[in-house]
Amino acid sequence: MASKRKMTSSSTNMNFRPTGYDPQRQDTKGTRPTSNPTTVREVLLQVLMFLCKKIIFFDVNLKVALYLGSLFLVSLIGDFAPYPKTYFARSDNIFNVYFVKWGWAWTLVLSVPYLVLTSFILCCGNRGKLFKEHLPRIVIATFFWLTWTKAFNFIETMYGRCNAKGVDTKIACLKGGHFWHGFDISGHAFILIYSSLVLIEEAKPIIGWENIKEHLRNEDHNRNTREDSSSNPLRNLEDDEFQTVKEMYEKYTPLIRILFISMTALQLLWDVMLVCTMLYYHKMIEKVLSGIFAILTWFFTYRAWYPAHSLLPNSVGHGKFLYQKVKPQPAVPFRKQSLNYGNAGPSNRSNDVPKFMGMPIYQQKPVTVTTTE
């Protein structure tokens, strides 16, 4: 009997619900906010963005080697055994007239607004940092493009001759319907390679861009609940800076994605037109030299100058908060190694454990540290 009474009391307690209890409502105190369900449209957009990243961020060192090797080999074959003529062999084809001849303008039309929007967000709306640390990269690139193309034209004009006797200048030769023989370093090959490399470098802020959304959501939760998170890259921003980043990120990210997809399509077009230039235009030495000038200019600016941070401007993606994760550098023989975490800071040791489908294959043993007093 006592046992039965005890069970009845326990059952009554289990079914008890306080006044005002809502079974659909859960206590979320101390829990992180979760992201909204992903729609089909967002999934398709993510797939498209993934494909674009695979195209434009193809190993740039390998791409540079392919540029130089193709300029030499494909052009050399064309010098001795001309390729069959196609629509792209005509200088008046639509891509050459409306895109290649205006190549740098197309590059600026897409890269400048993309740079302004991404850098403005990373600088928390600070116009001074935008104009001082990021826009000068495009100005410098334009300066080198103009300098080299003028130099190529000067060399062709000064060290050439007309096929008609008594005509000493290139302008008079061409106006008279004659042909000017000169060392014509390929301006098209230069602009196509240099524009491609500039687009690849300036597009890099999109890497990890979606992570900012999660950082904003978590940091907003932390500030509302007065929790402290040492791992959130936005934790050191002032309240007005945080609010500025939040508003601009939500407002401009769709446009940034459109610009990035367009930059990828343009970079792909430049590669296609470069192949056409290799096949049908200029001599091998003229194309190889222009490619060397383009690659050296890109290497000097984006690989040597900007990452050094000794002189302005800053490197791509630099701002008031760090959101990109950089993998550790591979081991190099006879060289003292130091992990380069870039914008991410030191990584968690659990990241070093091999994973399959995101799950660790084995549990890493804890590391014990002993100290002596």
Number of domains the chain is built from: 1
323 with 208: CB under 8 angstroms? yes
| CA 107 to the chain's CA centroid | 14
- pLDDT above 80 (res 195): yes
E strands, the chain, in order:
161-162, 180-181, 355-356, 359-360
- Other Cβ atoms within 10 Å of 65 Cβ, number: 12
Q: 308-352, pLDDT tens digit by residue? A: 877 788 889 888 888 887 554 444 443 444 434 334 333 444 444
Whole-angstrom distance, CA of residue 31 vs CA of residue 279: 61
Poorest-confidence range of 85-94, 131-140, 159-168, 203-212? Answer: 159-168
Q: Once rounded to an integer, what is the mean pLDDT over residues 215-232?
A: 83
Q: Once rounded to an integer, what is the mean pLDDT over residues 133-146?
A: 95
Residue of 134, 188, 215, 318 marked active site:
188
Q: Which two tokens stand for residue 2?
A: 């006592």
Please give the C-alpha separations between residue 91 and each of 94, 180, 196, 272, 336, in angstroms, as whole numbers.
9, 17, 21, 15, 53
Helix 239-280 × helix 211-225 angle, to 10°: 180
Q: Once rounded to an integer, what is the mean pLDDT over residues 346-361?
A: 46
- At residue 23 the predicted structure's pLDDT band, cuts being 50, 70 and 90, is very low
* 57 against 34, higher pLDDT: 57
Residue 188, in any domain of the structure: yes
Whole-angstrom distance, CA of residue 56 vs CA of residue 105: 19
- Chain mean pLDDT for the chain: 80
156 with 162: CB under 8 angstroms? no
Rg for the chain, CA atoms, rounded: 29
Residue 34, in any domain of the structure: no
237 with 320: CB under 8 angstroms? yes
Record the pTM.
Answer: 0.77
Expressed in angstroms, the distance from the first to the final Cα of the chain is 65
Q: Once rounded to an integer, what is the mean pLDDT over residues 144-164?
A: 86
If you search the block for the tokens 């290139």, which residue do you land on? 170
- pLDDT above 50 (res 248): yes
For residue 131, the 8-state DSSP code is: H
**Residues making up the chain, counted from first to last:** 373
Residue 112, in any domain of the structure: yes
Q: Which domain holds residue 310?
A: 54-329
Residue 10, in any domain of the structure: no
Residue 338, in any domain of the structure: no
> What string of H, E and C letters represents the secondary structure of 197-240?
HHHHHHCHHHCCCCHHHHHHHHHHHHHHHCCCCCCCCCCCCCHH
Residue 70, in any domain of the structure: yes
Whole-angstrom distance, CA of residue 206 vs CA of residue 95: 28
pLDDT at 326: 58
- At residue 298 the predicted structure's pLDDT band, cuts being 50, 70 and 90, is very high
| List of long-range contacts for 337-340, beta carbons under 8 Å, 24+ apart | none
Q: Which two tokens stand for residue 91?
A: 């200088």
222 with 235: CB under 8 angstroms? yes
Whole-angstrom distance, CA of residue 203 vs CA of residue 137: 13
Residue 352, in any domain of the structure: no
Provide the CB-side half-sphere exposure for 271 (13 A, CA): 19
Look at residues 125, 118, 120 and name the one whose alpha carbon lies nearest to residue 243: 125
Residue 49, in any domain of the structure: no
pLDDT at 340: 40
Residue of 178, 181, 221, 282 marked active site:
282
318 as an active site residue: the answer is: no
134 as an active site residue: the answer is: no
